[in-house]
Amino acid sequence: MVLSIASGLAVRLGFLEETVLAFREIGEWKFSLPVYFGDTVRVRATVNQTKPMPRLGGGLVTLKVQILNQDDKVVQRGTWGVLVRGQEE
Protein backbone atom coordinates (compact mmCIF):
# COMPACT_ATOMS: atom_id res chain seq x y z
CA MET A 1 0.00 0.00 0.00
CA VAL A 2 2.73 2.46 0.97
CA LEU A 3 4.66 1.69 -2.21
CA SER A 4 1.59 2.51 -4.27
CA ILE A 5 1.09 5.81 -2.44
CA ALA A 6 4.78 6.62 -2.90
CA SER A 7 4.62 6.12 -6.67
CA GLY A 8 1.69 8.54 -6.83
CA LEU A 9 3.58 11.08 -4.72
CA ALA A 10 6.63 10.73 -6.98
CA VAL A 11 4.54 11.62 -10.03
CA ARG A 12 3.27 14.68 -8.19
CA LEU A 13 6.86 15.87 -7.75
CA GLY A 14 6.58 16.84 -11.42
CA PHE A 15 9.68 15.33 -12.99
CA LEU A 16 7.94 12.06 -13.89
CA GLU A 17 4.63 13.48 -15.08
CA GLU A 18 4.03 12.91 -18.81
CA THR A 19 7.55 11.49 -19.25
CA VAL A 20 7.34 7.94 -17.89
CA LEU A 21 6.63 5.30 -20.53
CA ALA A 22 6.91 2.30 -18.20
CA PHE A 23 7.70 1.40 -14.62
CA ARG A 24 10.33 -1.31 -15.26
CA GLU A 25 11.64 -2.55 -11.95
CA ILE A 26 11.92 -2.25 -8.20
CA GLY A 27 15.30 -3.20 -6.81
CA GLU A 28 16.73 -3.90 -3.38
CA TRP A 29 13.53 -2.76 -1.62
CA LYS A 30 13.78 -2.68 2.17
CA PHE A 31 10.96 -2.32 4.68
CA SER A 32 12.74 -0.67 7.61
CA LEU A 33 9.88 0.43 9.88
CA PRO A 34 6.14 -0.18 10.03
CA VAL A 35 3.68 2.38 8.68
CA TYR A 36 0.39 2.75 10.52
CA PHE A 37 -2.98 4.18 9.54
CA GLY A 38 -2.83 7.92 10.19
CA ASP A 39 0.90 8.20 9.47
CA THR A 40 2.07 10.83 7.02
CA VAL A 41 4.54 9.70 4.36
CA ARG A 42 6.64 11.60 1.84
CA VAL A 43 9.02 10.56 -0.91
CA ARG A 44 12.62 11.55 -1.50
CA ALA A 45 13.90 10.52 -4.95
CA THR A 46 17.27 11.15 -6.56
CA VAL A 47 18.55 10.07 -9.96
CA ASN A 48 21.10 7.35 -9.44
CA GLN A 49 21.86 6.27 -13.03
CA THR A 50 20.76 6.88 -16.60
CA LYS A 51 21.05 4.59 -19.61
CA PRO A 52 20.00 5.56 -23.16
CA MET A 53 17.59 3.12 -24.81
CA PRO A 54 16.83 4.70 -28.20
CA ARG A 55 15.25 1.49 -29.52
CA LEU A 56 12.52 1.93 -26.90
CA GLY A 57 12.13 5.65 -27.53
CA GLY A 58 13.89 6.97 -24.45
CA GLY A 59 16.11 5.85 -21.65
CA LEU A 60 16.19 3.94 -18.39
CA VAL A 61 16.45 6.12 -15.29
CA THR A 62 17.28 4.47 -11.99
CA LEU A 63 16.02 6.41 -8.99
CA LYS A 64 17.16 6.00 -5.41
CA VAL A 65 13.92 6.26 -3.43
CA GLN A 66 13.31 6.77 0.26
CA ILE A 67 9.89 6.89 1.91
CA LEU A 68 9.91 8.88 5.13
CA ASN A 69 7.30 9.16 7.86
CA GLN A 70 6.15 12.20 9.81
CA ASP A 71 9.19 11.85 12.11
CA ASP A 72 11.60 11.97 9.10
CA LYS A 73 12.50 8.31 9.66
CA VAL A 74 13.06 6.16 6.57
CA VAL A 75 10.36 3.49 6.56
CA GLN A 76 11.09 2.01 3.12
CA ARG A 77 13.92 2.41 0.63
CA GLY A 78 15.27 0.98 -2.58
CA THR A 79 15.55 1.71 -6.27
CA TRP A 80 13.03 2.17 -9.06
CA GLY A 81 13.80 1.73 -12.74
CA VAL A 82 11.59 3.75 -15.08
CA LEU A 83 11.64 4.08 -18.85
CA VAL A 84 11.33 7.76 -19.72
CA ARG A 85 10.55 9.38 -23.02
CA GLY A 86 13.49 10.78 -25.00
CA GLN A 87 13.68 14.32 -26.30
CA GLU A 88 11.97 14.84 -29.62
CA GLU A 89 14.18 16.31 -32.29
Range of the domain at 31: 2-85
Q: What is the pLDDT of residue 7?
A: 85
Q: Does the model's pTM come out above 0.85?
A: no
Q: Are strands 74-85 and 42-53 parallel, antiparallel or unpaired?
A: unpaired
Closest CA to 6 of 37, 34, 40, 49: 40
Q: What is the pLDDT of residue 88?
A: 63
Q: Is the pLDDT higher at 13 or at 60?
A: 60
CATH code of the domain covering residue 33: 3.10.129.10
Per residue in 43-87, pLDDT (tens digit) is 999 999 999 988 888 899 999 999 999 999 999 999 999 999 887
Contact (Cβ atoms closer than 8 angstroms) between residue 62 and residue 81: yes
Q: What span, in angstroms and rounded, lies between the C-alpha atoms of 53 and 50?
A: 10
User: What are the phi and psi torsion angles at 74 (to 5°)?
Assistant: -75, 120
Number of domains in the chain: 1
